[in-house]
């Protein structure tokens, strides 16, 4: 059901890879709500994924950009404003990658070059995106910037590895940059702390099935799906949430506030 919440709004969506990804579902939902946008991902992801298909479905242009490159980001922001015909109203940062996880390195045996690369892609890129938007005065007043995170930023999950540190940094950047973006440009910045979600990236985490099933048994409403997350993101892009900023918003069916559930207790009794 569409409400035309984003009619006339323009944006940039980072990180759609395939139909399982939250960014992909968000793009479809934004399109259904009347928003227009540019799609972007790293050149390697464009070769691996099916972004062209999403561009065709939503009538969106695709601009390749490495989110860790200031030069690429400046080009992306400038071209997006040209293509869309004005300033940007919404941005989704849906980017994360741990080289240590990919290479099977444990948290107690990090390769720090891998750590630095993963941190740059997963967390510092969010600062780079916002700094580029800020310096180029590219955001409309009351615009909205959202990044996706996970509760491993606050709690320990053994196999989430250095991504937990990356997410903690990402959330801190949202608060710190959110202050200045709000003060100077009336732009809001938030993170959504999503349930474990069966995306292509999420499934790369060791023990993921146990992880997702446990969360589902713990959460009173069950896990939030990728589509649920897309719908929540729409509300944050809309004018209905103008005074929500610098928040880390848990979108997890109540998992984050549940001590233990009956289902989990039943397994131990």
C-alpha 118/C-alpha 114 separation (Å) is: 6
Whether 179 sits among the annotated catalytic residues: the reply is no
Question: Alpha-carbon torsion 82, 85, 89, 91, what sign?
Answer: negative
Number of neighbouring beta carbons within 10 Å of residue 4: 11
Q: Is 15 annotated as a binding residue?
A: yes
C-alpha 145/C-alpha 227 separation (Å) is: 19
Catalytic, out of 107, 150, 179, 232: 150
* CA-to-CA separations, 41 to 45, 67, 121, 205, in angstroms, rounded: 6, 8, 12, 21
Catalytic, out of 3, 160, 179, 232: 160
3-class DSSP state of 114: helix
Q: Is 95 annotated as a binding residue?
A: yes
Whether 160 sits among the annotated catalytic residues: the reply is yes
Q: Is 172 annotated as a binding residue?
A: no
Buried (b) or exposed (e) across 8-26, using 16+ Cβ within 10 A? ebbbbbbbbbbbebbbbbb
3-class DSSP state of 138: coil
Which active-site residues does the annotation give? 150, 160
Indicate the annotated binding residues. 15, 21-22, 95, 167
Instruction: List residues forming the annotated binding site for NAD(+).
Output: 15, 21-22, 95, 167
């Amino acid at each position: 059901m569409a409400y035309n919440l984003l009619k006339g709004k323009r944006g940039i969506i980072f990180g759609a890879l395939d139909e399982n990804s939250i960014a992909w579902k968000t793009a479809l939902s934004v399109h259904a709500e009347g928003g227009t946008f540019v799609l972007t991902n790293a050149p390697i992801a464009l070769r691996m994924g099916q972004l062209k298909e999403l561009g065709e479905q939503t009538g969106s242009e695709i601009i390749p950009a490495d989110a860790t490159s200031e030069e690429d980001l400046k080009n992306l922001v400038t071209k997006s404003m040209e293509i869309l015909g004005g300033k940007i109203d919404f941005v989704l940062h849906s980017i994360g990658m741990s080289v240590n996880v990919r290479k099977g390195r444990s948290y107690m045996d990090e390769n720090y070059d891998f750590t630095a690369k993963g941190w740059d892609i997963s967390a510092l890129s969010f600062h780079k995106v916002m700094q580029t938007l800020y310096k180029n005065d590219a955001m409309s007043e009351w615009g909205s910037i959202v990044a996706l995170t996970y509760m491993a930023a606050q709690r320990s999950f053994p196999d989430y590895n250095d991504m937990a540190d990356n997410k903690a940094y990402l959330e801190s950047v949202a608060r710190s940059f959110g202050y200045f973006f709000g003060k100077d440009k009336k732009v809001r910045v938030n993170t959504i702390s999503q349930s474990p979600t069966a995306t292509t990236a999420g499934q790369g985490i060791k023990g993921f099935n146990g992880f997702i099933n446990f969360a589902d048994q713990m959460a009173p409403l069950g896990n939030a799906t990728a589509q649920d997350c897309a719908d929540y993101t729409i509300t944050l892009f809309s004018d209905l949430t103008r005074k929500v900023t610098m928040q880390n918003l848990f979108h997890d069916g109540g998992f984050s506030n549940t001590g233990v559930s009956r289902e989990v207790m039943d397994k131990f009794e």
